[in-house]
Amino acid sequence: MEPKRSKYDTNPLDENVAERAQESWGHTSSQTGGSPTENMGGGATRNIGRSDDTVQGYSESEAPTRRIDDSLGTSYPSIFVPPTSRPSATYQPPRVPVSNIYQPPPAPPPNIYQPPPVPVSYKPGSNKVSGLGIPEKWAVLLPYLPFYLAMVVAIVELLLVPRTETRVRFHAAQALTLQIGITAVSTLLTVGGVLSGRWTGTGLFSLATTVFLIISMIRVWKGNPHHIPLLDEPRKWLDEKIKPRK
């Protein structure tokens, strides 16, 4: 008769299964006299023959793993490394054709102002000055003459030459300022020479101013720029005060 079990008894095994297993293990061990793991009674398990492939058989390792040397063959070929039979390919950037990016326009735009062509026979300073009727190079040279008459020439040019003749009026006003300064200093040196009886300073100053005026005449005759920054303020004042006659 089966024992009465409660609803909480979830053991599906027979109570005597442990006892029968113990009896089976004891019976097998008594027949063989060896380790229970070497011969299993009542089953297909049998003793596995031992070989020399043990841990003690390897002198370079303590684990029963075989050493993999290069003599075992190459590994699986990588897709990132090209085969040795193929020539090594080096990356070369694509060649960019050399081209001149900037291309000058074939012709200037029609709206840009183009000065009128200069005649081949034209020479700087050869044009006639309005109000005087003489060439420009003579009009700019006469005010630098080392004589008192140059002051009169400069005043006449400022009275007759219109303001459109900027170069002539510039040199006339600058030369007039220079002549006035030279005359004032020469007068003071002359008075000093009369009082002291020595004329060395007056002679040296006259020589220096004469050389400077001759150099100024040569420069303006050749058309080179001749500007004296020290005389800018009085030159502008004379050019504004002496207005050309209409």
- pTM attached to this predicted model: 0.49
Domain assignment present for 233 = yes
The residues near 153 (Cβ < 8 Å, ≥ 6 apart) are: 142, 143, 145
pLDDT for the residue 142:
93
Q: State the first-to-last Cα distance of the chain, in angstroms, to the nearest integer.
A: 156
Cα 149 to the chain's mean position, in Å? Answer: 61
Q: With H, G, I as helix, E, B as strand and everything else as coil, classify residue 51.
A: coil
pLDDT for the residue 115:
65
Domain count for the chain? 1
Express each pLDDT in 169-183 by its tens digit: 999 999 999 999 999
Domain assignment present for 115 = no
pLDDT for the residue 106:
74
Q: Which residues of the chain have pLDDT under 70?
A: 1-15, 17-18, 25-79, 81-89, 91, 96-101, 108-126, 246
Q: With H, G, I as helix, E, B as strand and everything else as coil, classify residue 27.
A: helix
Domain assignment present for 199 = yes
Domain assignment present for 202 = yes
Give me the domain span that covers residue 215. Answer: 136-241
Domain assignment present for 217 = yes
Distances (CA, A) of 87 to 60, 92, 93, 95: 39, 15, 18, 22
pLDDT for the residue 118:
56
pLDDT for the residue 235:
93
